[in-house]
Amino acid sequence: MARPKKTGYRTPTQTFGEWLRGMREKKGVPLRLVAAAADMDQAHLSKVELGHRVPTEKQAAALARYFGVDAHEIGARRIAEKFRQDFADNPAARKAVQMLNDGSLHE
């Protein structure tokens, strides 16, 4: 079994795709229906659930409406997932998150 790759920051216990798939499975709907509701290709939504892609803002808003979740919640999760995908291997990522949290970017 491969060891998990160490990153410069703590990753959430659940990726955006895992969270989304959980909501879809809880609702008991097939991928194709959710994809149609979000105006996206079924293959693209599958890649989102697998953690290979991130939905656009428009797609995320449509997913929020479909699942009845807060648009800001899904937007924040989308941004966090994009950050994770883009910077997971960057050792400066943890420092960047810390700077955002404590406001030190404005100093």
Q: What is the pLDDT of residues 16-38, one digit of tens each?
A: 999 999 999 999 999 999 999 99
The domain segmentation of the chain, as residue ranges, is: 16-106
CA dist 22 and 20 (Å) reads 5
Q: What is the pLDDT of residue 88?
A: 83
pLDDT band with cut points at 50, 70 and 90 for residue 106: low
What's the CA gap between 55 and 50, in Å, rounded? 12
Q: pTM of this prediction?
A: 0.77
Q: Of 92, 102, 93, 89, which is closest to residue 6 (Cα–Cα)?
A: 89
Domain at 16-106: CATH architecture:
Orthogonal Bundle (1.10)
